[in-house]
Structure formats: C-alpha cells, structure tokens
A and B are shown apart, each in its own frame.
Chain A
Amino acid sequence: MTVTIEHYLVLSAILFIIGAYGVIVRKNLIIVLMSLELMLNASNLAFVAFSNVLGDLTGHIFVIMSITVAAAEVAVGLAFVVTIYAHHETLNIDVLKLLKG
C-alpha cells in the first residue's frame, strides 16, 4: 500500500483543524500564536504535496514565502505579547478587552 496525496492532504487538514481549535479555544496568547504557526505549517504541507504531484516547483516558492511571513508575524506578535504583559500583567485573552471585542 503506497502513500498517495490523499494521505498528505488528510494529515494537513487534521493539523489545520487542530491548530484552528487551539486558536479558538485556548486563552493564553502565546499558545494562540503557536496554534497559528501550526495552521501555517499544515498549509505548507498541502503546498508541498501538490507541488510533488504536479511536478511544479511553484509550491516550494509559496512555502518559502509563507515561512518568511510566519517569521515576521511571530516577531511582531511576540513583541506585542511582551508589551501587553508589561502593561496588563496577564496574557489571558478574556481579560484583554481594550478593543471591546
């Protein structure tokens, strides 16, 4: 039994769903950011799987761009985390309601 693209796409979907679950459910801002990284990583896996099947390297370029954006996003997000913790002494996103969300 060989591994087909369905296997990779189902794994990618599972990882994406787990990441989305973490973003929705968790209250700790740092873990929400980590779950976001997990979702990006799952989409990268789907990109690379399609790239393999279609024999086209464009998917790899997309993954490189996605990793770059993820790095920038984590840097800015963690700067926000540090500032928020210095100001509010907590990272509970239920407490952080300055934007009335």
Chain B
Amino acid sequence: MTQTFQNQPVIAIAHLSHHFGSGDLRKQVLYDIHLTIQAGEIVIMTGPSGSGKTTLLTLMGALRSVQGGSLKFLGLELCGATNRQQVDVRRHIGYIFQAHNLHGSLTARQNVRMGLELHPQYSIAEMHDRAAHALDAVGLGDRIDYYPANLSGGQRQRVAIARALVSQPKLLLADEPTAALDRQSGRDVVTLMQRLAKEQGCTILLVTHDNRILDVADRIVEMEDGRLIRADAQTSAATGGIVDPHP
C-alpha cells in the first residue's frame, strides 16, 4: 500500500453494491457505483438524506466490509479484506465527522497526538512537536493545552482537522463537517481543510448538504437512492463505467 504510483487513483470503485439487513429485511442501499478519485482532488458528494452517501463513505474508509463489486484504496482491494487489513487502511485515512468527537479527557494537543501514536516512526518528542505544529497550522497555537469543553464549536472542529491531518494521510474523508457550525465558522473550517490538504497533497472527499461550500470542490458528485446520478464534468475520470485500468 505504501508503493504509491503517481497516476494511481486514491479511490477506484467499480460495480459496488451494498445491502443492509438479512433475509426478508435485506435491503439494497447502493447500486452499481462507479467512482474514481485521483490524488489531490477535492470531491464533494451531495444528495438527500438516506441516499447512501454515508454508507459509501464508511466503505471507502474501511469502516465497513465491502460486500459486492470492487473498491480499491491506493490499489489495495478492500472487497474481502481481513479485519486487520481494514484497520491498517484506516491508519492512512483522516476522518472528520459532523460532531468533532474529540476525547473530552484529553487536551487539544493530546487529542492530536492520538493521531500520531498509531505511527511508530514518530518518537515521543516528535509527536509532541508535531501535535503542537498541527494546532498552530489550524490557528490554535495558543490553545494547545485547552480541553475540548473550553473551546468553541469551530475551534473543536479545527482540532479535529489537525488530528485528522497530523499523520499526513493520503485521503481525508469528511462527513458533514460544517453541519454543527455557524456560517462563518463553517466556511473557515472548509477553507482550512482545503488549504492544508493542498499543502500536503492530500485527497479530500467531503459529504455535505451545505451548498454554501460547494465552491471549494474540484468536482461534485451527487447521489440519489443509492446511485450516483451526477459526476461533474470538470474531470472525465468519473463519468461512469470507467474501471481503474491499472489494478
């Protein structure tokens, strides 16, 4: 997985389908999804509630097992991946959730440090410094020893961004990161994500309802009833039916 090729897509999805439940209650939630995301792209996924956006996101993040079709993260097939492989993949993906999900008993710096502890190449001192730098980069250099309870909603979401990006992941998955924020903080958070991801060469997939932030995207894809119904024509890679030619 570490052998990243320049032109290899970060995410390559083909014929992906997914079901919930079993027996009579079995219900299909994703139908024959095709989607390719190139390195460095910022993709926004929109669509009404229940259209399967979050399910697709959790599949890409290796939080769920792929049932049918093919889903490749940096060339690694996740369909049939073991639990251990899934966990390994997660370590190369940053997540930002609707709720910040910071640990209330940890300071901002300790929270960010949790994102580094998984990567044994960092020494204790390095983790300490990098966590502080990451918080500096999101404009919280003067709040590094604050507990989440003493930070505003926007500040907490910025800590969450620092935590997601501190280990320099290849992919950042964000599920409605602005939903709990007011207009200005939401805007700031998205701009920050965009800037940092560009600096690190990180790919972003952002699920949102918030059409005030659509302009940060290189490409917008839309889902409805478990199908991808629009893949923005800015790039041609995702116009449907195109399977990754370099498995």
User: Is the A/B pair a real complex?
Assistant: no
